[in-house]
């Protein structure tokens, strides 16, 4: 089945889908994006993702390409044309194409691109086995709370993880604390049964899956603590895990080659992964 991409009002064969060479997303990373999981044809936490898109574009003073109701229709039409049951929808909104100049152009229309692809969401094999992370210095700009396409530090860190045989890289701030993964939020579980993740200030992306897990923790009566944690604390933690829209909840079993706990997925991470899967299936 051939893929279809939405580009500025048109549904195009994926291989022909293009933006202009002077698109500001291409030239300056002057663009924001979202990734929403599709589970059995339904969108997981769509409203929270679209609210975050609105927030991200607001920080960059990017105009809305259309109303949210219209955007939802276009997303649905793009997914329908791609016949994807389980997968992701990717939305990218840039300031549009204009003669190259750092300052905002006076007249330009935003570019909106939407692509859809099949993907195994919250892969059960990864949940069962757990994944390894490495640590790298956090070299990003100071506003990772904005979901911008300026992702070069994330790209380089993920490549290092891949070369090390790890699944994700945890980025470490100047104080030696874990900020977050390259495309996921980072968590640990303390000996006192506290579930710890960094507070969502400007230093991390406020993950939608993170918020969904907050809801699950509240329902289960588990203790959540939002604070930074160091690499040493993570290595000594009883459990570790990561969250993202594509991964759901994944147990982290190794950090820089050292086992977390007994080196196997922890019971709390596994139960949160199962609860998140049930939540996704409920959306569908």
By annotation, the residues acting in catalysis are 147
Nearest distance from C-beta of residue 144 to ligand PMP, angstroms: 6
Q: Which is closer to ligand PMP, CB of 90 or CB of 104?
A: 90
Residue that the structure tokens 């969502």 belong to: 200
Note whether 176 and 230 are within 8 A (CB): yes
Nearest distance from C-beta of residue 25 to ligand PMP, angstroms: 16
Nearest distance from C-beta of residue 51 to ligand PMP, angstroms: 11
Binding window for ligand PMP (CB under 6 A); candidates: 23-31, 86-94, 112-120, 241-249: 241-249
Q: Kindly state whether residue 180 participates in binding ligand PMP, applying the rule CB under 6 A.
A: yes
- What is the size of the binding site for ligand PMP (CB under 6 A)? 14
Q: Kindly state whether residue 87 participates in binding ligand PMP, applying the rule CB under 6 A.
A: no
Binding residue (CB under 6 A) for ligand PMP from 35, 149, 172, 274: 35
Q: Kindly state whether residue 178 participates in binding ligand PMP, applying the rule CB under 6 A.
A: no
Contact residues for 185 (Cβ-Cβ < 8 A; gap 6+):
197, 198, 204, 205, 207, 209, 210, 242, 243, 244
Q: Kindly state whether residue 207 participates in binding ligand PMP, applying the rule CB under 6 A.
A: yes
Nearest distance from C-beta of residue 246 to ligand PMP, angstroms: 7
Nearest distance from C-beta of residue 85 to ligand PMP, angstroms: 19
Binding window for ligand PMP (CB under 6 A); candidates: 18-26, 111-119, 125-133, 206-214: 206-214
Site string for ligand PMP, 111-150 (x = CB under 6 A): ---------------------------------x------
Note whether 29 and 148 are within 8 A (CB): yes
List, in sequence order, the alpha helices (H) in 60-173.
Answer: 68-82, 124-129, 152-163
H or E element in which residue 210 lies: helix 208-220
Q: Closest by alpha carbon to 157, among 183, 185, 188?
A: 183
Q: Kindly state whether residue 244 participates in binding ligand PMP, applying the rule CB under 6 A.
A: yes
H or E element in which residue 60 lies: none
Q: Which is closer to ligand PMP, CB of 84 or CB of 208?
A: 208
Work out the angle at residue 219's Cα, subtended by the Cα atoms of residues 213 and 222, and round it to the nearest 5 degrees: 75
Note whether 275 and 220 are within 8 A (CB): yes
Residue that the structure tokens 């080196």 belong to: 263
Whole-number Å distance between alpha carbons of 206 and 187 = 13
Contact residues for 70 (Cβ-Cβ < 8 A; gap 6+):
none
Which structure tokens are listed for 150? 């300026």
Q: Which is closer to ligand PMP, CB of 95 or CB of 210?
A: 210
Q: Kindly state whether residue 205 participates in binding ligand PMP, applying the rule CB under 6 A.
A: yes
Category of 123 on φ-ψ map: left (φ > 0), alpha (ψ -120 to 50) or beta? beta
Binding residue (CB under 6 A) for ligand PMP from 78, 115, 184, 203: 184
How many CB atoms are located within 10 Å of the residue 7 CB?
17
Q: Which is closer to ligand PMP, CB of 64 or CB of 149?
A: 149
Nearest distance from C-beta of residue 245 to ligand PMP, angstroms: 3
Residues forming contacts to ligand PMP in the complex (CB under 6 A) are 35, 144, 180, 183-185, 205, 207-210, 243-245
């Amino acid at each position: 089945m051939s893929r279809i991409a939405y580009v500025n009002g048109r549904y195009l064969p994926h291989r022909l889908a293009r933006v202009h060479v002077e698109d500001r997303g291409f030239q300056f990373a002057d663009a924001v994006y979202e990734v929403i999981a599709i589970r059995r044809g339904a969108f997981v936490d769509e409203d929270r993702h679209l609210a975050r898109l609105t927030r991200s574009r607001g920080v960059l003073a990017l105009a809305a390409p259309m109303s949210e109701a219209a955007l939802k229709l276009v997303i649905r039409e793009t997914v329908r044309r791609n016949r994807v049951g389980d997968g992701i929808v990717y939305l990218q909104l840039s300031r549009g194409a204009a003669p190259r100049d750092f300052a905002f152009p006076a007249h330009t229309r935003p570019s909106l691109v939407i692509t859809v692809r099949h993907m195994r969401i919250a892969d059960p094999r990864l949940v069962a086995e757990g994944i390894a992370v490495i640590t790298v210095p956090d070299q990003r700009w100071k506003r990772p709370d904005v979901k911008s396409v300026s992702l070069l530090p994330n790209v380089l860190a993920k490549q290092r993880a891949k070369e090390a045989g790890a699944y994700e890289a945890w980025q470490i701030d100047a104080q030696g604390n874990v900020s977050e993964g390259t495309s996921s939020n980072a968590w640990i579980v303390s000996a006192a049964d506290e579930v710890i993740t960094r507070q969502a200030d400007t230093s991390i992306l406020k993950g939608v899956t993170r918020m969904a897990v907050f809801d699950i923790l509240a329902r289960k009566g588990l203790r959540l603590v939002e604070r930074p944690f160091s690499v040493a604390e993570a290595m000594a933690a009883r459990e570790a895990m990561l969250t993202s829209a594509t991964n759901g909840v994944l147990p982290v079993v190794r950090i820089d080659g050292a086992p977390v706990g007994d080196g196997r997925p922890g019971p709390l991470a596994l139960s949160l992964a199962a609860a998140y899967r049930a939540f996704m299936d409920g959306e569908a």
